[in-house]
């Protein structure tokens, strides 16, 4: 009889065997830290979800050894992810063109667009069907490659002057790869878009077209919405709220769904505005008009605080069950408080808050996920 431990061991040994054969497996300090974080968070959230009764495991399929309430079989997924992802990253670095496309798509942001679509689709009653799978895959990678690829190509000159570009927050790709990026972005999106149009309705096709228009219009020459103050924040927020609205167009929504979308929209505007503060100096040197370069660092930070507060208030209106999410949202406000008096010439100091913002997203995302799971399972 195949138990979870047997299946886990077969899968783990097969994958690790391939990685060892290809000499990709690595054990650095970062890998060990990642493994510890993944294992601890798996134990904590597994125990929480099992305690809440959201799922259980057949006794005849597990060994019965648990850490907290989490069966040890569940730790294999975290172990595999912690070892395989760095190895795959190492392999991608060997293939220059693939690595260029991978970095351009901003892997750190994949979940920010796929998650809203999938969560909105399922929570609003959508089934696990072709539209969910195809839509999630589309908003996971091709959508991000299109969005960030156009941005990186069109902003190449200004990104060269920006000290925070060149890593997970944005690639600075040599011009010789620009044609590859644009064509790869378009061709990778095309089959997904065609499939979604065929599987949807005219309303969903219209919403998808509008979402994709704003993705292109944000950076493309001749439109450059990112250089129109306030419109830059609106457009950037739509990049992430758009997948959620597209899910609504497929399965419908409720008043609570619209409140959640409005809160998400305010959060997106606030995040873009605050993110622009740290780029005031390089953006002004490149003569880029952003919300931060026009309004100034201090005013932009206060605007972001007000927008975060609006998002928290809207979430709180959803009821007591959503209050943990509202509480997590208040952490974004606290994160900005040290910068309420920041001056333009020292705007680069906001980068510390931006780095904390990236980590806060994981905390808030975990809280949102648990809250949604409790809603779906009626806990």
Task: Note the pLDDT tens digit of each residue in 14-28.
Answer: 888 887 887 878 888
pTM above 0.85, yes or no: no
Q: Are 52 and 100 in contact (CB under 8 A)?
A: no
pLDDT of 90 strictly over 50: yes
**Domain ranges in the chain?**
1-95, 108-253, 256-379
Query: Cα–Cα distance between 182 and 147 in angstroms, integer?
Result: 10
pLDDT average, residue stretch 118-141: 91
List the beta bridge partners of residue 167. Answer: 170
**Letter string b/e over residues 167-184, b meaning 16 or more CB atoms within 10 A of that residue's CB:** eebbbebeeebbeebbeb
| Phi, psi of 247, rounded to the nearest 5 degrees | -60, -45
For residue 55, the SS3 value is: coil
Looking at residue 167, its pLDDT comes to 56
Of 47-51, 224-228, 361-365, 375-379, where does mean pLDDT reach its minimum? 375-379
Q: Are 324 and 371 in contact (CB under 8 A)?
A: yes
Looking at residue 334, its pLDDT comes to 97
Query: Most confidently modeled of 40-44, 52-56, 337-341?
Result: 337-341
Classify domain 256-379 by CATH number. 1.20.120.1780
DSSP code of 58? -
pLDDT of 162 strictly over 70: no
Sequence-distant (6+) residues with CB within 8 A of 174 are none
Looking at residue 243, its pLDDT comes to 97
pLDDT average, residue stretch 306-311: 97
Looking at residue 165, its pLDDT comes to 59
CA angle 114, 242, 302 (to 5 degrees): 105
pLDDT of 161 strictly over 70: no
Residue range 108-253 forms a domain whose CATH class is: mainly alpha
pLDDT of 374 strictly over 70: yes
Looking at residue 120, its pLDDT comes to 94
Of 64-73, 167-176, 333-342, where does mean pLDDT reach its minimum? 167-176
| H or E stretch covering 66 | strand 66-67
DSSP alpha helix (H) spans, 95-129: 96-104, 110-123
Q: Are 159 and 219 in contact (CB under 8 A)?
A: no
| Phi, psi of 223, rounded to the nearest 5 degrees | -120, -65
pLDDT average, residue stretch 356-367: 89
pLDDT average, residue stretch 164-168: 57
Q: What percentage of the chain has pLDDT greater than the value 70?
A: 92
Query: Cα–Cα distance between 283 and 276 in angstroms, integer?
Result: 9
Task: Note the pLDDT tens digit of each residue in 171-204.
Answer: 677 788 888 889 999 999 999 999 999 999 999 9
Work out the pLDDT band at 159, boundaries 50, 70, 90.
low
More confident residue, 15 or 268: 268
Sequence-distant (6+) residues with CB within 8 A of 163 are 282, 348
194, exposed or middle or buried, with CB in 10 Å at 0-12, 13-18, 19+?
exposed
Looking at every residue in the chain, the average pLDDT score rounds to 87
pLDDT of 362 strictly over 80: yes
Work out the pLDDT band at 1, boundaries 50, 70, 90.
very low
pLDDT of 122 strictly over 70: yes
């Amino acid at each position: 009889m195949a138990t979870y431990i047997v299946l886990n061991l077969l899968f783990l040994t097969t994958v690790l065997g391939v990685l060892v054969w290809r000499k990709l497996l690595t054990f650095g300090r970062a890998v060990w830290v990642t493994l510890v974080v993944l294992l601890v968070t798996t134990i904590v959230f597994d125990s929480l979800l099992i305690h809440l009764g959201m799922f259980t495991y057949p006794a005849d399929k597990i060994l019965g050894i648990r850490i907290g309430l989490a069966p040890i079989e569940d730790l294999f997924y975290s172990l595999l992810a912690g070892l395989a992802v760095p190895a795959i990253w190492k392999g991608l670095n060997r293939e220059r063109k693939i690595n260029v496309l991978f970095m351009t798509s901003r892997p750190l942001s994949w979940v920010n667009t796929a998650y809203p679509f999938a969560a909105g689709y399922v929570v609003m009653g959508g089934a696990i069907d072709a539209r969910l799978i195809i839509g999630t895959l589309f908003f996971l990678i091709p959508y991000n490659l299109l969005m960030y690829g156009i941005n990186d190509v069109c902003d190449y000159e200004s990104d060269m002057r920006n000290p925070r570009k060149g890593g997970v927050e944005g690639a600075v790709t040599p011009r010789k790869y620009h044609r590859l990026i644009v064509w790869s972005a378009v061709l990778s999106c095309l089959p997904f878009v065609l499939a979604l149009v065929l599987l949807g309705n005219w309303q969903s096709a219209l919403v998808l077209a509008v979402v994709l228009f704003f993705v292109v219009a944000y950076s493309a020459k001749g439109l450059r919405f990112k250089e129109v103050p306030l419109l830059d924040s609106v457009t950037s927020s739509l990049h992430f709220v758009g997948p959620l609205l597209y899910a609504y167009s497929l399965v419908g929504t409720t008043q609570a769904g619209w409140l959640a979308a409005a809160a998400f929209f305010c959060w997106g505007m606030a995040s873009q505005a605050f993110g622009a503060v740290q780029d005031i100096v390089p953006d002004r040197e490149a003569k880029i008009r952003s919300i931060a370069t026009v309004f100034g660092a201090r005013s932009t930070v206060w605007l972001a605080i007000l927008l975060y507060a609006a998002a928290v208030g809207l979430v709180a209106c959803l009821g007591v069950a959503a209050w943990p999410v509202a509480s997590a949202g208040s952490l974004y406000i606290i994160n900005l408080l040290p910068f309420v008096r920041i001056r333009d010439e020292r705007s680069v100091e906001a980068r510390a808050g931006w780095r904390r913002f990236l980590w806060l997203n994981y905390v808030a995302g975990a809280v949102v996920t648990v809250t949604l799971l409790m809603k779906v399972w009626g806990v």
